[in-house]
Amino acid sequence: MKRIIISTLIILSVFSCSKDHPVDGDGLLITTRQECYVSNFELLGADYVTVLTKQPVIDTTAQTVNVTVQFGTDLKNLFPQFTLATDCKLDPKIVGKVDFSDLANPKQYTVISGNRQISKTYQVLITVQPR
């Protein structure tokens, strides 16, 4: 009887460790979700306080994020924060401060759907508030 219980536990542990759900190269679960968009955006300064003067304007059709930052903002040391549709991921990953000082060449970020089949590239367009 003891052997049967031990055998059953071993079999259950082997099957419970099997990968029923695939994961991507980042270790994130790949789902069936096809939604692929930015739902919110925040831009923080070096002190982790917002530098935005008003809510961002996110255009999911044109795939743009338009923001206005406070006059005098250090555009070389900003921390962008994206809120994405469920199960999406962002490329490139944001791992620290980002230099947004080249306003003529907006930063681009690609949103990838939960099923990893759809991707949309968004441009972050920054306007500096006049004095």
- The total of structural domains in the chain comes to 1
Q: What is the pLDDT of residue 131?
A: 87
Dihedral sign of CA atoms 23, 28, 32, 34 in order = negative
Q: What is the pLDDT of residue 12?
A: 56
| In a domain? residue 10 | no
| In a domain? residue 61 | yes
| In a domain? residue 15 | no
Residue 124 belongs to what domain range? 21-128
Q: What is the pLDDT of residues 102-128, one digit of tens each?
A: 999 999 999 999 999 999 999 999 999
**How far from chain centre, in Å, is Cα 70?**
24
pLDDT of 58 > 80? The answer is yes
Polymer length of the chain = 131
Q: What is the pLDDT of residues 75-108, one digit of tens each?
A: 999 999 999 999 999 999 999 999 999 999 999 9
- Give the three-state DSSP class for 63: coil
Do the beta carbons of residue 63 and residue 106 sit within 8 Å? no
| In a domain? residue 11 | no
